[in-house]
Amino acid sequence: MTAARTLPDFENPPAVETVMGVHFAPISKWQPPYFGLFWARIKSDYPRIQMQPPVLPQAPDLAPAQPQSPWEFVRCWFFNQDETRLIQIQNNLFLHNWRKVRPAEKYLHYGDLRPHFEKEWQGFREFLEQEALGVPKVSLCEVTYVNHIDRGSGWETFADLSEVFPNWSPKTSENYLPSPELVAINASYAVHGVEGRLQISAQPAIRQTDAKETIQLTVTVRAKPSSSSNEDIYRCLDEARKWVVLGFTDFTSPKMHRIWRRKI
């Protein structure tokens, strides 16, 4: 993926995590020992393992569905040595994450990360075939960017959030209420070009690594690929990523774009 960048790009983006992956129909034969068997395959690159609660499966209408089997209540994380990358697996989900672990960590663009996803996804597919677990029937592709917008970088109080998010206003109809102490935003948009939805969440948070007060802005697109072939999956991921970047840029203000040193 060496094509010139045409989407909005920033010299100092607030991104701290990028996720890409696929949701698929539950693998009926999957049981917990397969987590260990898969780990044995990737342990040299991902030496640490951690169990997590599951991500609820996504129904065809893109809304969360209820788990259908007990193994859907188990999710496993596999970390690389410096914990900047991880693989998440459950019996209906495969995700690959990049995380900014240290402040000086170099931001990795989607074009840098997609080859890693392709490699690990292909390895997982080969594992399923070798264990006679079948070919995953992919229902959704997902791209998520997680961003931290720290207090002092474009905003000081929650009354300032219109300076960050142009579609939010602290104004009230009778000017009775004081400035808000906390603000959380959730928005959902239809995605054109592929069947999917873009979801944006802005939540106040305290970062664990340095106790810094921040706004966690999460932008996610889940969309349906044309088929379960790798070509259609990668095409759908590219389209989802386009919507994530354009949606992030449109949802945030020109003032913040200057702070993040927009290049394109």
Q: What is the mean pLDDT of residues 1-23?
A: 87
pLDDT higher than threshold 70 for residue 236: yes
- pLDDT class of 2 with cuts at 50, 70, 90: very low
62-72, pLDDT tens digit by residue?
A: 555 555 555 55
Q: What is the pLDDT of residue 104?
A: 85
Q: What is the mean pLDDT of residues 10-38?
A: 96
Report the chain's mean pLDDT, rounded to a whole number.
Answer: 93
- pLDDT class of 1 with cuts at 50, 70, 90: very low
Q: What is the mean pLDDT of residues 190-194?
A: 90
| Cα separation, 170 vs 158, whole angstroms | 8
Q: What is the pLDDT of residue 4?
A: 60
For 156, residues 6+ apart whose C-beta sits below 8 A from its C-beta are none
Are 58 and 77 a contacting pair, CB within 8 Å? no
172-188, pLDDT tens digit by residue?
A: 999 999 999 999 999 99
Q: Which two tokens stand for residue 80?
A: 């690389």
pLDDT higher than threshold 90 for residue 87: yes
Q: What is the pLDDT of residue 62?
A: 53
